[in-house]
Structure 1
Amino acid sequence: MKIVIQRVTSAGVTIDKTQVATIKKGLLILLGVVNNDAKDDIKWLSNKVVNLRIFSDENGVMNKSVVDVDGDIIVVSQFTLHASTKKGNRPSYIKAAKPDIAIPLYQAFVNQLETDLGKKVQTGQFGADMKLDLVNDGPVTIIMDTKNKE
């Protein structure tokens, strides 16, 4: 699994001109799943996300987690995170998992985040054409890949 985490002051997801998710301070997470991702990746990744100290403390030092600041999270599926651009100019998405693999792992990741965060995590809609609005705070953007966890 690969994620892009963006620290935001606000974020939202719109599908067909209807806003389906909105948060204030927190994290917008883009999640890409590949065929060999497994459930054991989820616990590790969720734990990293909720404990990642990327919010400023009273001294302006990034020393607080999303839990510490009572922030919210939106998770959006994004198969294009696994684009291969080695050949030609048209990206290949052959590494991205098909929905029968990706959807259960995506849902399990959201459920694990809710458990670790202690509150509801908002989402986009898997496979939908979504419009994302966000104000990246900092900007702070972190990329994590479960293939690099050791």
Structure 2
Amino acid sequence: MEVPTAAVDYVAEQVGAADPSKVKEYLRRRPTRFEHQREIAAAYGYIDFAAAERELVRWIDDRAWTSGDGPMALFNAAVGWLRERKVLLPAVSTLTRLVAQVRSQATDRLYERLSALVSAEQAGLLEELLDVPDGHRYGPRVAAGR
């Protein structure tokens, strides 16, 4: 609330506030901003994040599964998805955690499906590729294939 008086007066004039000094008192009563948020959301047709979260999770999962997008791209796309549907945005940390969790689950599911396609013989050959003797940059299989 460390706003210059001139700025407060200017905004107060724009919104027709009779007493600009009341702006400083706005956050003294904690529920006020939440009450106003609900009023604004109702007036403009916005819905609460909790009402859309399940659908958003499915959407993020589908996108993570099919696109290979990184966390930032998924986060930005999720914000766009929420805005298009007139959903009140959650805290950045909340959405960041949700995107990371859903993306991680989709990645784990992909790895599980891919590993199920590998035979025991193929798995053994792949593990041999990871065996790099001390002092060498490559394992014997890779070096022999060069």
Larger helix percent: 2
Bigger Rg, structure 1 or 2? 2
* TM norm. shorter chain > 0.5: no
Q: Which has the higher contact order (CA 8 A, sep 6+)?
A: 1
